[in-house]
Chain A
Amino acid sequence: MENIKLHYDVIKDDFSCAGEASGKIKKTLKGLGLDSALVRNVAIAVYEGEINMVIHAEGGCIDAEISPDTITVVLKDVGPGIKDVQLAMQEGYSTAPENVRALGFGAGMGLPNIKKYSDEMNIETEVGVGTTITLKFNI
């Protein structure tokens, strides 16, 4: 059985396209007939990750791989990295600039929500280089 692989590029500051990758992943999962609660969890987590890349990073890409028992999503960006991961994981902590908050983003719930809605979350980050978040969802 061949795993399903999906790849999407995410562009810095492109709010009009933000959500396209998570939307397409969601559509694929619905097509596979997965439980609607699981589909919703993946959609929420990936959307938050995608928005984070648009706001904070210089751009990046999202790779999703669906196997018979797991959905793995890797969100990899080139950007400033996260200085203090523990702090960033706190609800309400945000470094989003004012113009982004004016759009309704940057409430400091991004990373906490990603963790809440995924089964496994791993963050690799280096200041000035970039961040890679790997998410796993059990089917």
Chain B
Amino acid sequence: MDKNIFHSVRMDREKCVGCMNCIKRCPTEAIRVRNGKAKIIKEKCIDCGKCISVCPHHAKYAERDRLQNIINYKYNIALPAPSLYGQFNNLGNIDYVLAGLIDMGFDEVYEVSHAAEIVSKLTREMIAKNNTGKPLISSACPAVCRLIRVCYPSLLEQLVDINAPMEIAALAARRDAAEKTGLSPNEIGIFFITPCPAKITAAKNPITLDGPIIDGAIAISDIYPVLLQQMNRLAKSGEEIPELKRSGKSGVGWATSGGESAALFEENYIAADGIENVKAILDEIEDGKLNNVKFIELNSCTCGCVGGVLTVENPFVAKRRLHHLTHYMPITAEKYTKDDEEKDGDILRWQKIPEPANIMRLADNFKDAMRIMNEINELEKELPKLDCGTCGAPSCKALAEDIVRLFAEKRECIFLTRDKYKESHEPQAEMFMDNLPASFQASKEETK
């Protein structure tokens, strides 16, 4: 199926010690520990970056591009995500960030928050027209879109079918620059400054566009030290800072959870952030419990994009900073006219409908799936229901499924193996049991 698609989230086998941290926290149960090393099941991975944030050994990382790559293009444009603005202490004017990016070697900046304002306008119109009796679901967080595709395919039809702000920004920036410079589109380098791996995957391997739309994705955390230096230099030099910003409060607000909804001027919304909370809301939507809500904003990361694993600042701190920064900003900096919309016609909407991934199903045909399901249910009764993860699967149920599908063996359950050992080696078993940690000795008395 999706075996060969691009994933930003990767494994460093050298650093992996085979602990349970990532397998237990992965929202789609996409990781197993096999032969002492974690392995990501590519078809299930949604690139949310949770495993990167929970791995104490830094064995998970996000594949991204380096700033040096800009030498490959004649004209370079930086696309800063609004979450970038929340990384700096006492930032009073976004133009310092944008001017800093220009000083770093970019020829131009195109704010993703400007494109966000366009998306807000189009979403407002969609909400007004929506007569399906079901809420619209934001498609801005690519990890959420992929989660829906993998685990909640029936909700795909409720996604807002407008391109994400980063996508509109990328398409518009290339088009405008080609017009302005006379260069061919492939001589122009579009570099997205990203808070998370999910957006890197989305830009390089989009599920709603026909092909990749950026030339590089640079992590906020990689660019931060250099950018900060440039910004400090600018502030000290007393040079006049050019007015580069094109977005207001409603666009910049997208960096935090609830910001996208606030720009809709519609009070009947839900904004949930953090992947576990997102799953809980998606279940409620699926069960028809939220049909009276107009709009649902979902962000995979805590606090929204400022919680992305490639940012540097604590998400709650960044959120407060953005609140402060946008306090006196206008709602929107540039009016988006009917003429603009006409011109942007082909870059605003999805080019294709995302297909359900169907990785939840056990077999291609229903009868096989039923047989496998019965076997799993039977096997699950034998397992200890501790969900300890020692076998390398996130839960006993997951192990049962892996065993039935021949990806794992029964003996990988340390408790089943213990019992089997006791049966066959009664005297040695006593000694073996005495040397086990307390938690394993719990059933010693009853097994005598």
**Contacting pair A66 B370 (CB below 8 A):** yes
Partner of A33, one of B151, B283, B288, B364: B364
Q: Is the interface of B mostly helix, strand, loop or mixed?
A: helix
Q: B residues 186-245 with Cβ under 8 Å of A? A: none
**Contacting pair B286 A32 (CB below 8 A):** no
Is A30 at the interface (CB under 8 A from chain B)? yes
Interface residue total, chain B, C-beta cutoff 8 A: 23
Q: Nearest chain-A residue to B361 (Cβ)?
A: A33
**Contacting pair A32 B287 (CB below 8 A):** no
**Contacting pair A31 B366 (CB below 8 A):** no
Interface size range on A against B: 20 to 34
Q: Nearest chain-A residue to B288 (Cβ)?
A: A44
**Contacting pair B289 A47 (CB below 8 A):** yes
A76 CA to B377 CA in the complex, in Å? Answer: 23
CB distance from B407 to the nearest CB of A (A): 15
**Contacting pair B288 A32 (CB below 8 A):** no
Q: Nearest chain-A residue to B363 (Cβ)?
A: A33
Residues of A with Cβ closer than 8 Å to B?
A: 1-4, 19, 22-23, 26, 28, 30-34, 36-37, 39-40, 43-44, 47, 66, 68, 113, 117, 139
A-B contact pairs, 17 of them (CB 8 A): A1-B367, A4-B373, A4-B374, A26-B287, A30-B360, A31-B362, A31-B373, A32-B361, A32-B369, A33-B364, A33-B369, A40-B288, A43-B286, A43-B287, A44-B288, A68-B366, A68-B370
A33 CA to B358 CA in the complex, in Å? Answer: 7
**Contacting pair A40 B366 (CB below 8 A):** no
A34 CA to B358 CA in the complex, in Å? Answer: 10
**Contacting pair A36 B361 (CB below 8 A):** no
A33 CA to B374 CA in the complex, in Å? Answer: 14
New A-B contacts (6) at CB < 8 Å, excluding given A37-B154, A43-B287: A2-B374, A30-B151, A32-B369, A33-B366, A44-B288, A139-B366
Mark each residue of chain B from 286 to 318: 1 if its CB lies under 8 Å from any CB of chain A, else 0.
111100000000000000000000000000000
CB distance from B264 to the nearest CB of A (A): 23
Which of B358, B362, B371, B373 has most chain A Cβ within 10 Å? B373
Is B153 at the interface (CB under 8 A from chain A)? yes
CB-CB under 8 A from A33, the residues of chain B are: 358, 360-364, 366, 369
Partner of A44, one of B287, B363, B377: B287
A4 CA to B289 CA in the complex, in Å? Answer: 27
Q: B residues 267-289 with Cβ under 8 Å of A? A: 283, 286-289
Q: Which 9 A-B pairs have the closest CB atoms?
A: A33-B361, A36-B154, A44-B288, A30-B360, A32-B369, A36-B153, A40-B154, A47-B287, A43-B287
A12 CA to B19 CA in the complex, in Å? Answer: 41
Is B259 at the interface (CB under 8 A from chain A)? no
CB distance from B44 to the nearest CB of A (A): 13
**Contacting pair A36 B373 (CB below 8 A):** no
CB-CB under 8 A from B153, the residues of chain A are: 36
Partner of B377, one of A1, A4, A30, A37: A4
Q: Nearest chain-A residue to B401 (Cβ)?
A: A31
CB-CB under 8 A from B151, the residues of chain A are: 30
CB distance from B378 to the nearest CB of A (A): 10
